[in-house]
Amino acid sequence: EADIYQTPRYLVIGTGKKITLECSQTMGHDKMYWYQQDPGMELHLIHYSYGVNSTEKGDLSSESTVSRIRTEHFPLTLESARPSHTSQYLCASSTQTVNTEAFFGQGTRLTVV
Amino acid sequence: RKEVEQDPGPFNVPEGATVAFNCTYSNSASQSFFWYRQDCRKEPKLLMSVYSSGNEDGRFTAQLNRASQYISLLIRDSKLSDSATYLCVVNRGGGFKTIFGAGTRLFVKA
């Protein structure tokens, strides 16, 4: 079982609210990722990080922001939630070695009403 | 064109059938390859890595053809529990990005 945790698992929130989705891993992995996935659709990379103080935007444009102050923690923030942000957000981590797999958290299912 | 392309699916097969999934990647700098499985409303999990020599894990066989930039997954003797989405995944060097295919949905019927 992977040691990567996301909270909350489910979140229903009103439009305009600020939210932070938490992701923590205890495997000491340098690389961390955020993916967005709508039901039945493909994964889209929205943010990734090579290590502390490193953040990069992914392939899908997102209004969210991320930070990486500690190796184990990679939170994602939406300053003002909108219904279009309704989706599942999956966090993952891996080592720096290219031949390694990525481990996923269980995801946060966000609904903005 | 997407960097990783998979059979669109869905595949509907009876129990006991053999099913093959195909995947192509466009970036020749890709260095490692995987098949992941994602159950409905769950996170993706590694099914198996894919090696140049081909590798087998029970009923599952993965093949890689670097010259053709093609990856395959063969499932023999399909079980109901094999029903899931199968994701082709490529790790690209030079900055190291993990690229997921869109996935191929498999339904195994009794």
> So what's the pLDDT on residue A60?
83
**Contact residues for A61 (Cβ-Cβ < 8 A; gap 6+):** none
The two three-digit tokens of residue A71, written as one number? 């190796």
Cis peptide before A75 (omega within 30 of 0): no
Q: What are phi and psi of B106, to 5 degrees?
A: -120, 130
d(CA B58, CA B43): 23
Chain A contact present for B8, CB below 8 A: no
Pair A5, A24: CB distance under 8 Å: yes
| Cα–Cα distance list, B15 to A9, A29, A98, B28, B106 (Å) | 34, 39, 36, 37, 12
pLDDT tens per residue across span A55-92: 999 888 889 999 999 999 999 999 999 999 999 999 99
Pair B100, B89: CB distance under 8 Å: yes
Pair A77, A66: CB distance under 8 Å: yes
Chain A contact present for B91, CB below 8 A: yes
Subunit contact A42:B101, Cβ cutoff 8 A: yes
Q: Residue B99 carries which side chain, given as an amino acid letter?
A: I
Residue B48 to chain A, least CA–CA distance (Å): 9
User: Most B CBs within 10 Å: which of A25, A98, A111, as the mutation test of the B interface?
Assistant: A98
Subunit contact B32:A105, Cβ cutoff 8 A: no
- Which residue is closest to A36 within chain B, CA to CA? B43
pLDDT tens digits, chain B, 110 residues: what are they? 788 999 988 999 999 999 999 999 998 888 899 999 999 989 999 999 998 888 999 999 999 999 999 999 999 999 999 999 999 999 886 555 788 999 999 999 99
d(CA A19, CA A17): 6
> So what's the pLDDT on residue A88?
97
